[in-house]
């Protein structure tokens, strides 16, 4: 049996917003938006707010990281999945758990105390850098790209 049909894995600390719920979904032809995030999985208010910006006809799922690991391989072949995580550490947990991710789109990682800006929309701390380096060691391509028609930039060149 083939693995899950993950069209794109995206890191965005905002999780789902217009760029993700409409622009990326439409560009990819995704019909399932899967948010793998422990906090969002248990917050129906946040889920409802995110659902408001998702294109019509696209299903959403809000799973913890562990549930994503447990059920992703049960995805139906017709499900075209856009997988969204909040941090590179979350993506690494999924990969270590067997979720097949070969490339990551880095959309937005806000600046905060202890972080340094490496790109217009991406700021990292040492834990983020370590996670990106481990992803690279696992041959996962991590590319900063806010929107589909923008050219990507490898994050490894910015660390």
Under DSSP, the state recorded for 78 is T
CA distance 125 to 117: 9
pTM of this prediction exceeds 0.85: yes
In angstroms, the CA 133 to CA 44 distance is 34
Per-residue pLDDT of the chain (159 residues; tens, 9 = 90+): 578 999 999 999 999 999 999 999 999 999 999 999 999 999 999 999 999 999 999 999 999 999 999 999 999 999 999 999 999 999 999 999 999 999 999 999 999 999 999 999 999 999 999 999 999 999 999 999 999 999 999 999 999
Residue from 52, 56, 7, 13 nearest 34 by CA? 7
6-157 CATH: 3.40.35.10
| Catalytic residue positions, numbered | 17
CA distances from 144 to 21, 102, 128 (A): 18, 15, 14
Query: For residue 58, which phi and psi values (nearest 5 degrees)?
Result: -100, 125
């Amino acid at each position: 049996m083939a693995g899950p049909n993950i069209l794109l894995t995206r890191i965005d600390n905002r999780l789902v917003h217009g760029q993700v719920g409409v622009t990326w979904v439409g560009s990819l032809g995704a019909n399932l938006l899967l948010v793998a995030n422990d906090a969002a999985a248990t917050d129906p208010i946040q889920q409802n707010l995110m659902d408001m910006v998702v294109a019509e006809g696209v299903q959403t799922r809000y799973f913890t990281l562990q549930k994503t690991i447990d059920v992703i391989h049960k995805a139906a072949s017709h499900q075209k999945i856009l997988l969204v995580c909040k941090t590179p550490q979350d993506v690494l947990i999924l990969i270590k758990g067997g979720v097949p991710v070969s490339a990551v789109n880095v959309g937005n990682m806000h600046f905060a105390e202890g972080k340094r800006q490496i790109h217009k929309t991406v700021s990292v701390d040492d834990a983020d850098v370590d996670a990106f380096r481990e992803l690279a060691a696992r041959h996962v391509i991590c590319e900063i790209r806010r929107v589909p028609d923008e050219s990507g930039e490898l994050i490894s060149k910015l660390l």
